[in-house]
């Protein structure tokens, strides 16, 4: 049963299926939100890093601008049917330098026995914003390591002439202590360096741009492949992804951050516009080499408009 149930703690809802059990949080006092606990039943493994979260709305950015960090902004939350609905005012007109009128609504839903969906709607007010971005975050258990499917830059999309390659980011002296950026294309790569990461909390951020992504999903898996968490978006919604890398150095804070981020939207938004972005987290195993790609393809196919619906 995929129903969300209020827990005995404020701002926490629990769920349980045949494959997993977990908690969604939206606490008005701590401002934390997203999946704060997720256990795979077949292994008993907790995949969310302790005191962290997945499918978390993190930062709101634009060209040469930092608007807000959602975890620091008060929000409201309520259950609507089988969805947890969380709402934020992302900018305020009384804060110097902030453009007024940006709002966000996140809808969390247990979509299947092994999947949680996030649908975010960004509502703009009276101003234009250049290359507006919603940056979402996930943090995984230390026993799990990241991987992506990537292609060679400038050779076109994934296909026979530019095959997708399974890429597992490892410690490299050329990019040590830098977060890896996996852009969609050269225009997306430029957004990492347009000034947006010079401002706000935990900035500036050091990026090492890697290969182009083949598909807009990344995953973290255990070495025995019994546990894998795949986080995905849609190509039109996602202009890049970012991650830490694997390292055996216990002092490497970037490597042991165990993070996976999605750069969403990334385009100009006009006054009174509305933009919907979709993500999914699937908890499964990696017994089949193609399992990460298969769960992404299922998500992408279901998100395509039906014939006759525009």
Each residue's pLDDT tens digit, 244-297: 999 999 999 999 999 999 999 999 999 889 999 999 999 999 999 999 999 999
Alpha-carbon gap, residue 198 to 193, rounded angstroms: 9
SS (H, E, C) 273-296: CEEEEEEEEEEECCCCCCHHHHHH
SS3 151: strand
Alpha-carbon gap, residue 56 to 25, rounded angstroms: 10
Give the tens place of pLDDT for each residue, 12-43.
999 999 999 999 999 877 778 999 999 999 99
pLDDT of 304 strictly over 90: no
How many other CB atoms are found less than 10 A from the CB of residue 125? Answer: 16
Position 91 scores a pLDDT of 65
Position 201 scores a pLDDT of 84
110-117: average pLDDT:
98
Position 27 scores a pLDDT of 84
Q: Tokens 């395509």 — which residue? A: 304
In a domain, residue 147? The reply is: yes
Answering whether pTM is above 0.85, one says: yes
Q: Tokens 């509502």 — which residue? A: 123
Alpha-carbon gap, residue 245 to 255, rounded angstroms: 5
pLDDT of 309 strictly over 70: no
How many other CB atoms are found less than 10 A from the CB of residue 177? Answer: 12
Tokens describing residue 95: 């804060």
Position 73 scores a pLDDT of 85
How many other CB atoms are found less than 10 A from the CB of residue 11? Answer: 20
CB-based burial label for 310 (10 Å; 0-12, 13-18, 19+): exposed
Alpha-carbon gap, residue 65 to 62, rounded angstroms: 5
Position 308 scores a pLDDT of 47
In a domain, residue 309? The reply is: no
Q: Which residues pair with 228 in a beta bridge?
A: 221, 284
Q: What percent of the chain has pLDDT over 70?
A: 95
Position 161 scores a pLDDT of 93
Q: Tokens 């492949």 — which residue? A: 225
89-118: average pLDDT:
79
Position 94 scores a pLDDT of 46
In a domain, residue 308? The reply is: no
How many other CB atoms are found less than 10 A from the CB of residue 80? Answer: 9
Q: Find out whether the peptide bond into 234 is cis, omega within 30 degrees of 0.
A: no
Position 1 scores a pLDDT of 53
Instruction: Report the largest interatomic distance among the alpha carbons of the chain, rounded to a whole angstrom.
Output: 55
pLDDT of 185 strictly over 90: yes
Position 98 scores a pLDDT of 47
In a domain, residue 310? The reply is: no
Tokens describing residue 111: 């979509």
Give the CATH number for residue 81.
2.70.98
In a domain, residue 148? The reply is: yes
Q: pLDDT-derived band of residue 95, with 50, 70 and 90 as boundaries?
A: very low
CA dist list (Å): 161 to 88, 154, 157, 240, 294: 44, 11, 9, 22, 21
182-196: average pLDDT:
97
Position 72 scores a pLDDT of 86
In a domain, residue 233? The reply is: yes
CB-based burial label for 256 (10 Å; 0-12, 13-18, 19+): middle
Q: Give the chain's mean pLDDT.
A: 92
Alpha-carbon gap, residue 108 to 30, rounded angstroms: 19
Alpha-carbon gap, residue 270 to 272, rounded angstroms: 7
Q: What percent of the chain has pLDDT over 90?
A: 82
73-102: average pLDDT:
77
Q: pLDDT-derived band of residue 86, with 50, 70 and 90 as boundaries?
A: very high
Instruction: Please count the structural domains in the chain.
Output: 1
95-121: average pLDDT:
85
Domain that holds residue 71: 5-303
């Amino acid at each position: 049963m995929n129903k969300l149930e209020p827990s005995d703690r404020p701002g926490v809802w629990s769920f349980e299926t045949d494959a997993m059990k977990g908690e969604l949080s939206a606490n008005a006092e701590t401002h934390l939100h997203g999946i704060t606990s997720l256990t795979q039943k077949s292994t008993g493994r907790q995949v969310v890093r302790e005191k962290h979260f997945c499918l978390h709305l993190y930062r709101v950015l634009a060209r040469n601008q930092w608007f807000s960090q959602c975890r620091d902004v008060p929000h409201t939350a309520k259950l609507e049917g089988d969805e947890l609905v969380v709402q934020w005012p992302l900018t305020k007109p009384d804060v110097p330098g902030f453009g007024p009128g940006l709002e966000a609504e996140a809808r969390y839903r247990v979509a299947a026995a092994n999947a949680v969906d996030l649908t975010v709607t960004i509502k703009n007010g009276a101003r234009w914003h250049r290359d507006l971005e919603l940056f979402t975050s996930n943090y995984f258990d230390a026993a799990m390591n990241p991987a992506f499917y990537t292609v060679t830059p400038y050779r076109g999309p994934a296909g026979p002439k530019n095959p997708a390659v399974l890429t597992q980011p490892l410690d490299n002296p050329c990019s040590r202590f830098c977060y890896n950026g996996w852009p969609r294309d050269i225009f997306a790569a430029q957004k990492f360096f347009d000034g947006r990461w010079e401002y706000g909390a935990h900035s500036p951020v050091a990026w090492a741009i890697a290969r182009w992504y083949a598909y807009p999903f990344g995953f973290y898996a255990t070495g025995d492949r019994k546990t894998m968490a795949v986080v995905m978006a849609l190509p039109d919604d996602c202009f890049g992804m970012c991650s830490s890398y694997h390292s055996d150095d216990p002092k490497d804070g970037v490597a042991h951050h165990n993070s996976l981020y999605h750069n969403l939207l990334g385009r100009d938004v006009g006054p009174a516009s509305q933009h919907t972005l979709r993500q999914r987290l699937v908890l499964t195993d990696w017994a089949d080499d193609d399992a990460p790609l298969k769960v992404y393809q299922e998500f992408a196919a279901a998100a395509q408009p039906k014939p006759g619906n525009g």
